Amino acid sequence: MRIGLMSGATGGDGTIDGLVARVQQLEASGFDSVWMAHIFGLDAITALALVGRETSRIELGTAVVPTYPRHPMAIAQQALTTQAASGGRFTLGIGLSHKLVIEDMMGLSYEKPALHMREYMAVLGPLLRGEPVKHEGEQYNVQGAVQVPGAKPTSVLIAALGDRMLQIAGSTADGTILWMTGPKTIETHIVPKLTAAAEKAGRPAPRVVAGFPIILTNNPDKAREAIGGALTMYGQLPSYRAMLDREGGSFGPADIALVGDEKELGASLDRLRDIGVTDFDAAIMPIEDGADERTLAFLESRL
């Protein structure tokens, strides 16, 4: 199981210079990947293009860029540009986001999200492989191609939680990237349905990139309380709430966080590996003095 860090939850000052310095540190420490959230700050794809010019080995991925605000041809052009800038180390993570963001904040329609993603991938997939596309559908009618010199075909992951989205991810993408999804749900719901869809479509075994809050601490109860307060919003969004309910009826974000000493965290990582997680995406929770450094050192010991 590869180990990476989530940018935006791992320290730094929020600037481009801070991001570059952080990823350079992670690369020097031997981490496999960094996954950058795309919320309401830096544009994740653009920022990773800049990081790609200042690093040489580490995988750079988005976690995740919402699809609705960006036409698939536009995001393909941007992703391929970042792929060229990083020497082939970029992975595009995309997702639907949430009705609260797309409809209530941006004023865009959030109707038929599964259809939207299926048609989106019908356009985006060929473009990321360097192929022309001709698609006539209900939501997109696209003809064209994108040519970016030096860009290799770009891998794409879909943030997939429900049955229909897992089928789309397995049959059209290279895997899924998860958040707020516990180990029981990954083992019994995500992995089998994603894998079955990939096998039916004749695709390779899919990647499962699993993001989890994590902290190395000797005060687990206090840490979980702080994590619960910091991540309350995620437990209220319908798609994440459905995954937390699958894990345990009254579960909240703190209940699926990886919290404890080296032995406890090690056992949690071993379980994730054993149930089919291919990539662990660590969202270090800096809620105690020294928590970032301690947890980072522990994760480095697992590389």
Q: In this structure, how many other beta carbons lie within 10 angstroms of the beta carbon of residue 225? A: 13
Cα gap 264→260, rounded to integer Å: 6
Cβ(283)–Cβ(213) below 8 Å: yes
pLDDT in tens, 254-285: 999 999 999 999 999 999 999 999 999 999 99
pTM equals 0.97
Domain locations in the chain as residue ranges: 2-158
Which whole-number Å values give the CA distances from 10 to 28, 78, 94, 96, in the listed order?
A: 16, 25, 21, 24
Q: How confident is the model at residue 8 (pLDDT cuts 50, 70, 90)?
A: confident
Q: What is the pLDDT of residue 249?
A: 79
Average pLDDT, the chain: 96
Which whole-number Å values give the CA distances from 197 to 49, 172, 272, 276, in the listed order?
A: 32, 9, 21, 15
CATH 3.40.50.300 fits 2-158, yes or no: no
Where would I find the H helices in the chain? 16-29, 44-53, 72-85, 99, 113-128, 163-172, 183-185, 191-200, 220-230, 238-247, 253-256, 262-274, 291-301
With a pLDDT cut of 90, the percent of the chain lying above it is: 95
Q: How confident is the model at residue 13 (pLDDT cuts 50, 70, 90)?
A: confident
